């Protein structure tokens, strides 16, 4: 017999997943959510596969123990490095054990990369696509591989932006330093492929820099044309952010999977957990969510 009280877990290394949670709650306000930011160990994007997988699995196990029927890895780095192993190796064991002990409620873990790449072929006109992401996501090649699966002939160029997440986690995304590093990585990716007409923000933190990115693309007084092999135009470049796409994809998933949907409680609540100081998290989270929240501090593994 199933208990009808499960939540939807949303996980990120830090604050970035809040950009996804905000859109999910706009589209699916009725459900109950548990957000977990592993702020104490962020950023993940500069760590190795083993570390990212180990941290992500700890977070997923924690959220499943808190009765989340679904866990969204609202983190590209975790989706790129850990999702497949968790889905294929760990979840069958976790689900088998749950069934044996409790007799109810299958669990699943979903990522953010697939729902994002699905819209790309319809948006690009030149077929030249840029991926802005953490070093770990770039080295996984997940975006390149997923795009290859759904569309032939796209020219995909990746750019690691290692300074962006630390700037955002430190609350410095409106600073001159952020402006400098936005210009630096955009210049680098456009120097690799000046025909890019679509840029994917392949990290859930990056929407906080969207205005600065747009500003640079629309009014690029800082570009020195001599840096580029040909004169480049950037005003028309489309930016793809993930929140709305992931939310739509989750709504569609729940529509198709009543075995998860039917376990979910519907009181419209959200609990915020962090591995860092709760007050500090709550203060910064307000900038991502646009509303005040309360948070609770927890410890993950060791």
- Write out the two tokens for 205: 């933190």
Position 203 contacts ligand DGL (CB under 6 A): yes
DSSP secondary structure string, 152-167?
Answer: TT-EEEEEE-TTHHHH
- Least separation in angstroms between residue 47's CB and ligand DGL is 8
State the Cα–Cα distance between residues 52 and 80, nearest whole angstrom: 10
Position 137 contacts ligand DGL (CB under 6 A): yes
- Least separation in angstroms between residue 137's CB and ligand DGL is 6
The residue count for binding ligand DGL (CB under 6 A) is 17
Contact characters 69-88, ligand DGL, x per CB under 6 A: ------xxx-----------
Whether 203 is a known active-site residue: answer: yes
- Write out the two tokens for 132: 């802005």
* Binds ligand DGL (CB under 6 A): choice among 124, 134, 159, 284: 134
Q: One of 68, 161, 203, 270 is an active-site residue; which one?
A: 203
DSSP secondary structure string, 103-118?
Answer: -----EEE-SHHHHHT
If you ran DSSP here, which 8-state letter would residue 45 be given? T
Q: One of 68, 75, 161, 270 is an active-site residue; which one?
A: 75
- Least separation in angstroms between residue 14's CB and ligand DGL is 6
Position 12 contacts ligand DGL (CB under 6 A): yes
The C-alpha angle with vertex 43 and arms to 214 and 155, in degrees rounded to 5, equals 50
Strand locations in 97-223 (E): 108-110, 128-133, 155-160, 198-201
State the Cα–Cα distance between residues 168 and 209, nearest whole angstrom: 8
Question: Which residues ranging from 44 to 73 are in contact with ligand DGL (CB under 6 A)?
Answer: 44-45
Q: C-alpha 210: how far from its chain's center? A: 14
What is the binding site for ligand DGL (CB under 6 A)?
A: 12-14, 16, 42-45, 75-77, 134, 137, 165, 203-205
Q: Annotated catalytic sites, by residue?
A: 75, 203
């Amino acid at each position: 017999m199933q208990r009808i009280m499960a939540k939807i877990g949303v996980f990120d290394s830090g604050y970035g997943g809040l950009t996804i949670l905000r859109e999910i709650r706009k589209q699916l306000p009725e459900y109950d959510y548990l957000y977990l930011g592993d702020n104490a160990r962020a950023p993940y994007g500069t760590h190795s596969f083993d570390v990212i997988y180990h941290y992500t699995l700890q977070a997923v196990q924690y959220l499943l123990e808190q009765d989340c029927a679904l866990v969204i890895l609202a983190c590209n780095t975790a989706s790129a490095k850990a999702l497949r192993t968790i889905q294929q190796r760990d979840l069958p064991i976790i689900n088998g054990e749950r069934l044996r002990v409790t007799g109810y409620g299958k669990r699943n873990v979903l990522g953010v990369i697939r729902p994002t790449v699905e819209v790309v072929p319809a948006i690009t006109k030149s077929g030249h696509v840029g991926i802005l992401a953490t070093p770990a996501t770039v080295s996984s090649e997940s975006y390149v591989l997923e795009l290859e699966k759904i569309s032939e002939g796209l020219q995909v160029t990746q750019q690691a932006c290692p300074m962006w997440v630390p700037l955002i986690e430190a609350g410095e995304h409106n600073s001159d330093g952020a402006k400098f590093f936005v210009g630096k990585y955009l210049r680098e990716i456009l120097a690799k492929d000046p025909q890019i007409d679509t840029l994917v923000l392949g990290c859930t933190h990056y929407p906080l820099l969207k205005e600065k990115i747009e500003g640079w693309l629309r009014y690029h007084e800082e570009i020195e044309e001599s840096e580029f092999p040909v004169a480049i135009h950037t005003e028309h470049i489309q930016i793809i952010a993930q929140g709305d796409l992931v939310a739509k994809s989750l709504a569609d998933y729940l529509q198709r999977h009543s075995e998860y949907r039917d376990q979910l409680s519907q009181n419209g609540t959200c609990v915020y957990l962090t591995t860092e100081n709760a007050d500090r998290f709550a203060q910064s989270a307000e900038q991502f969510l646009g509303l005040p929240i309360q948070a609770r501090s927890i410890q993950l593994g060791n």
